[in-house]
Amino acid sequence: LTAVQDSNAVKVDWVYKGDYVDGYRIYRDDQLIATLPATDSSYYDLTGKPGTIHEYSVVALLSRNDMDFQSAGDRDTITYPKLKPVLNLTATSVDSLGNAKLSFNYYARGVDYFEMMYMISYTDQNNMPQDSTLMFTLFYSELKNNELDFVDELAIPTASIDYMVRAVSVREGVPYYSDNVTATLGSYPRPPMPMNFTASDGLYDNRVELQWYLPLEANIDSFEIRRDGVKIAMVEGGRRTYADIFNGIGNLPAGTFNYQVIAYRRDYGVNFLSNAASDSGYPTLLRAVYNTLDDPNVTTSWGWALGAHQNKLAVGSPLTGNGFATFFENTNGSWVRKLSYSHGSDATWSIREYGYSVDVYNNQAAVGAPGTLHNGDPDWGWIDYLDVPFTGSANHVGWVGNDDSRFGDQVAMVGTRYYGTDQPNTPTPVRYIRGYSIPQSSFGFVSPPAIPSNQRYVSMDASDSYVVAGATTGVATEEGLVDIYKRSGSSIAHIKRMEGEDNGNNFGVSVSISGNLLAVGADKKQSGRVYIFRVSDSSPYLESIQQISQPALSNNTNQDQFGYSLAMSDDYLMVGARNHYDIGSTSKRTGVAYLYKRYGSSFEYIDVFSIPDGLGETGDDFGFSVAACDEGFAVGAPFYGSKGGVFFYSTDLLELWNQKLISVSASDGLYSSQTRIEWVFTGNRDYINGFNVYRDDELLTTAGPEESLFLDTEGIPGKEYTYKVKVVTTSNRESYPKSDKGFRKGIGVLEGDVFTAVGSAPVPGVTITAEAVIDGEKYTYTNTSDVNGHFYLDGVYFASATVSYSVMADFEGHEFLTNPIPVSISPENSVKSNIIFIDNTAYIARGIVRHEGVSCGLDSITVRAVSLFNNGTKSEETIMTNEDGEYSLVLRPGQAGLVQIRIEIDSMQVRTDELGMAKDTVIHRFMTTDIASFTSFNNFPREVLVNFEDTVSYDVELVVTTVCGGPASSNGQFDIEISTRDGCFQANALTGVNGRVTVALPPLDGMILTVKGATPSTVENLLIVDYLRYRPDRINLLALHVDNTREGYSQAVLDSLTFKKLVYHKPAAIAVSNEFGESFCNDASQPRLIRQGNNYTIRFNITELHQGITCQVDEGFVVINNAAAANNNRDTLFYVPERQAFESHSFKGGAPNLVAPYRKGINAKYFSSVGDLLAEATIPVVVLGSAPLPGSDIIVDVTDDQGQVKLPIYVLRDPPGDG
């Protein structure tokens, strides 16, 4: 015999020269390690202890006549070899995937696994330096053709890594190692940069579509999306597309976004980033502009004055240089600037404040410049008439004013005439209205009645027949006024002055006339007011037809200046409130404007205008000026931004609805049957045609104006879409959209179970991952098997066709029979529920937890497997029992240094309420008769069964008795069944002849106590059983146990709470135990007399007769129905043990019975504690008092002892004369 070292083994060779042999036995250190057939002459020992000197011996075996004969053995001694190291270890950086690949060869047997380890150093998220050793276990079974490949995805990017690998074999719980072999990686790669990154350029109005490429197996966790350097999203590592939703108006005609996508890897609480891939893109909404008009020549006060007619609009900007007037024409729905004009100086006249006032009619315009200087003297004033400014011509006729007259402060134009205010203060204040015929004929020069010297005309408008002008100062001592002038031919005459209601109202701060309707603003009448008058040629000239107060916005104040500006055109009225808070704000007084529509002679509110997107600031004065014409409306804000602003709105209010569509939201996988799209629209729904709802630019529906919700039931479940909503105007134009991403919950389901190969025990805690690549993107779903080994993955996406998912099971150190398992799901077959993983390597501890003597289990009990190691450390696996009380734990008996595994169970259980709040604490006393501690791990069983029983119980004393207190029977023993309705528990107890028995019961709720039989079967005993069998009682020991755990009851209290009587009743007798009322002639057989309105109390005595003894009943209740009571006519009286009597019945005498024999009854019914009616009695009484006779037209003789009544008969007569 020779023993020589071999690869991870000792090879034993021998020679046997006998002619007959039946086999051999191989011993190591006198311990049998193998039995071989006679044909063998060598053996490889793979289980010796490396570095240990072993003695090997072999003996020959011969079997004869049912006896085994053994030869003498030969021996040899040798040191068992150390494990062989791995060969050809290499480490390669895979830059395209951001990981490193390790590879080595191994040709020997006798190895359980390989350990690969390396050191890393990094700075954590708290900026603290950290050092750590990473160790990976590579299983021998992973060798393919003697080669093992491993991908490392956890090293620190750019770090130099020394990978060390060694072989490991665990023998009798002791690990043995080979020498380490090292391979160095010069620099671990960074996460790879995404490739082929593109951002869409204006392909979509509401979004930018981003796409990129990166291998799906790349070592990344997610992607960061940046727009102009700002992170806007993090998306999953399997995604390769992203839609950046854009809502609102960009107002950037050449705007573009710079997008970046960066790959992320997150380990150790640290993010590792790739280089950024970049591209530019934009949605068309980014380049959409606000509804504003502009003149590049103007630098300030843009929008100070507005004038409009038909499709023409003039804008005055008096504070830009000498002042500007700009002229626009609406062509095909767009406002086109035709002329930007600033009148320079004429000889001795220096034009100033040009555009302070403007007005337009057809193609002509009038422009006022009231600050014009004459020979350096200011405020003489100037008015220009421009005949064709909308053709781009500045041809004009100028008119000059007088010293200090501010001529042209207000201008108005209508038909072939235009007007201006001329208001000199020197030598004495005079106010004039000047009229001119086109092009340059002065036809009217009129002054009104005297105006206070400090009041000037601040507003003016004209119709074909009338000129109106408003004068005010803004001071609190004057109310303001409006003068009405009538034009007849080439003359103008003052016909009416209308003054304001109250001082300080600023009545006349604005005026506007259309036909014979006049609007007058009083911007300091509280928050402001607008008065509507009808103008006529005869006295009283003005008829008041409407007063308009500011609409009730939530942030209205008395400083809003509603009515500061006005404009009427046909059926519409615009009103400016230049100092109102912005919509929804109480800090920025930006100003607003209101639109009204005329119905008959009155105006109805439509909506409120404001500066878009909340961009305004205090003092912008939006609503300082307003205009209305055939093409829509305009609002001036002369101090908006750096130069002012003019905002236009079409007659269908498209631009307003762009603002009023606030938001859109789409549900994200909340519902499997639909995606819920909701929108917020704050505009007036009476002036729109509805809403268009789109899914990825496909029109789904046109919702009605009153709707704010649409349910998309057609989208592919699980697929994300971009939903957008647009307002449809009354002209069937669409507003800009608001958008959101949303999707239906995927309806795919993958479920199954994980079982052990031996015993089919459930394996909990296995990570189940399903992956599929759909349209170039990877979809991943993960869950964990539960205590029953069951897993469930829902919401799985499968697009619109059949998709193959790879379902993988993962549990450290475990091998599965088939892994992964390919599974196909489709719209026609969306549920796969039979996916079974067989764990070939799992060791399982399982069992049932229940009360002793109870067949059903206890749920939510914590069971744990505790592993103790020879270095003093321990690890735990924890699980909670399911609703059947079952648990299953995964054990790891092959761990190095393991000395003991214990299966333990918590004795304290905290129960919670519906909200998850701690409610009760339940104490258990668990015991097991199974082996629950293991110290030997050789040939460890694949399945260990450890059941636990809660031995907590309460001694309950049961007694079959009567109300007399003694045993119910003179000689009987009674069989009592204790059970639960769910069938989980049933026990029987036999009383003694004293009717008593004590039984230990588990703390269950709702236990039912039923008398089932008796011994001997006498008539007496059978009557007792027949009564009690159908009247079971109950006991709730769980509630008692919870209370006892909390309160710590004494034994005396427990004895009283666990004492239960099963009372046998016989028909009872009811008697009144006290005197009440008055007797009738001292005759006890006659009814008692009580008086109406007096108070009375009755006490009842309930008795039963048992075994010849009359006993007072000491349980149950009495129900009273008292017809003689004025109140408390129904009453329930319970037995009071402390008083040894039933509660008393108190009442007040009611109304008498007027019919002989005048009696009323007090009815008493006695019920046992289980609700049996055992006695009934009616106590007659006569109530002395008065009451109205019942009925109508019924004659009653109260002396008639028979109680008869007489009913009058009515004869219906047919009136004569009707045929």
CATH top class, domain 2-79: mainly beta
Dihedral sign for Cα atoms in the order 835, 836, 842, 848 = positive
Q: From residue 307, give the alpha-carbon distance in Å to each of 689, 1063, 1072.
A: 30, 101, 101
**Domain boundaries of the chain, sorted by first residue:** 2-79, 87-185, 195-287, 656-726+737-742, 748-839, 843-950, 954-1063, 1069-1196
Q: How confident is the model at residue 816 (pLDDT cuts 50, 70, 90)?
A: very high
In this structure, are strands 349-350 and 1109-1112 parallel, antiparallel, or unpaired?
Answer: unpaired
Percentage of the residues of the chain whose pLDDT score is greater than 70: 98
Please compute the mean of the pLDDT values over residues 304-310 and round it to a whole number: 98
Q: How far apart are CA 1059 and CA 1042, in angstroms?
A: 18
pLDDT for position 808: 97
Query: Quick check: 1192 pLDDT over 60?
Result: no
What order do you get walking across the sheet with 996-1001 strand by strand? 996-1001, 954-961, 1059-1063
Q: How confident is the model at residue 979 (pLDDT cuts 50, 70, 90)?
A: very high
Q: How confident is the model at residue 1189 (pLDDT cuts 50, 70, 90)?
A: low
pLDDT digits (tens, 9 = 90+) for 847-884: 999 999 999 999 999 999 999 999 999 999 999 999 99
Q: How many helices (H) and strands (E) does the chain have?
A: 4, 100
Please compute the mean of the pLDDT values over residues 430-434 and round it to a whole number: 91
pLDDT for position 1083: 85
| Exposed / middle / buried, residue 265 (Cβ in 10 Å: 0-12, 13-18, 19+) | buried
Instruction: Give the CA diameter of the chain.
Output: 157
Helix (H, G, I), strand (E, B) or coil at 754: strand
What's the topology of domain 748-839?
Immunoglobulin-like (2.60.40)
Fill in the amino acid letter for 104: F
Query: Quick check: 1219 pLDDT over 60?
Result: no
Query: Quick check: 912 pLDDT over 80?
Result: no
Please compute the mean of the pLDDT values over residues 192-199 and round it to a whole number: 98
Q: How confident is the model at residue 1202 (pLDDT cuts 50, 70, 90)?
A: confident
Dihedral sign for Cα atoms in the order 350, 354, 360, 363 = positive
Which candidate, 515, 591, 512, places its Cα nearest to that of 550?
591
Q: What residues does 837 pair with on adjacent strands?
A: 754
Contact call for residues 1160 and 1124 (beta carbons, < 8 A): yes
Q: From residue 382, give the alpha-carbon distance in Å to each of 183, 317, 372, 379.
A: 94, 15, 6, 9
Query: Quick check: 129 pLDDT over 90?
Result: no
What's the topology of domain 87-185?
Immunoglobulin-like (2.60.40)
Please compute the mean of the pLDDT values over residues 425-431 and round it to a whole number: 83
Is domain 195-287 annotated with CATH 3.30.70.330?
no
pLDDT for position 1209: 65
Contact call for residues 1008 and 979 (beta carbons, < 8 A): yes
Question: 403 is written with which tokens?
Answer: 């010293």
Q: How far apart are CA 363 and CA 346, in angstroms?
A: 24
Considering 268-272, 535-539, 644-648, the range whose residues carry the highest mean pLDDT is 644-648
Contact call for residues 619 and 589 (beta carbons, < 8 A): yes
CATH number of 954-1063: 2.60.40
State the DSSP H helix or E strand holding residue 1051, giving kind and residue range, or none if neither: helix 1051-1057
Which candidate, 581, 545, 535, 543, places its Cα nearest to that of 561?
581
pLDDT digits (tens, 9 = 90+) for 312-343: 999 999 999 999 999 999 999 999 999 999 99
Buried-exposed string 272-303: b where 16+ CB fall within 10 A, e elsewhere? bbbebbebebbbbbbbbebbbbbbeebebbbb
Helix runs in 634-689, H state only:
654-660
Instruction: Name the residue with higher pLDDT: 1187 or 820.
Output: 820
How crowded is residue 1034: how many other Cβ atoms within 10 Å of its Cβ?
11
pLDDT for position 82: 96
pLDDT for position 530: 98
pLDDT, mean over the chain: 93
Q: What residues does 199 pair with on adjacent strands?
A: 210
Contacts of 917 (CB under 8 A, 6+ apart): none
CA angle in degrees (0–180, nearest 5) for 157-162-167: 125
Does 2-79 match 656-726+737-742 in CATH topology?
yes
Pick from 374-383, 681-690, 726-735, 891-900: least confident? 891-900
Query: Quick check: 200 pLDDT over 60?
Result: yes
Q: How confident is the model at residue 555 (pLDDT cuts 50, 70, 90)?
A: very high
Q: How far apart are CA 481 and CA 486, in angstroms?
A: 17
Question: 104 is written with which tokens?
Answer: 């080595």
What's the topology of domain 656-726+737-742?
Immunoglobulin-like (2.60.40)
pLDDT for position 915: 66
Q: How confident is the model at residue 440 (pLDDT cuts 50, 70, 90)?
A: confident
DSSP states of 1054-1110 as a string? HHHHTEEEEE-----EEEE-S--SB-BTTBTTSPEEEETT-EEEE-EEEEEEETTEE
Place of tokens 């002639």: 1081
- For domain 1069-1196, give its CATH number from 2.60.40.10, 3.40.190.90, 2.20.25.90, 3.40.50.2300: 2.60.40.10
Q: Quick check: pTM over 0.85?
A: no
Q: How confident is the model at residue 1215 (pLDDT cuts 50, 70, 90)?
A: low
Q: How far apart are CA 1099 and CA 1071, in angstroms?
A: 9
State the DSSP H helix or E strand holding residue 1041, giving kind and residue range, or none if neither: helix 1037-1047
Question: How far does CA 136 lie from the centroid of its chain?
Answer: 41
Q: How far apart are CA 845 and CA 889, in angstroms?
A: 5
Query: Quick check: 837 pLDDT over 70?
Result: yes
Integer-rounded Cα Rg, in Å, for the chain is 51
Query: Quick check: 910 pLDDT over 60?
Result: yes
Q: Phi and psi at residue 721, in whole multiples of 5°?
A: -125, 160
Range 843-950: architecture per CATH: Sandwich (2.60)
pLDDT for position 302: 98
Contact call for residues 509 and 563 (beta carbons, < 8 A): yes
The one-character DSSP state at 1046 is H
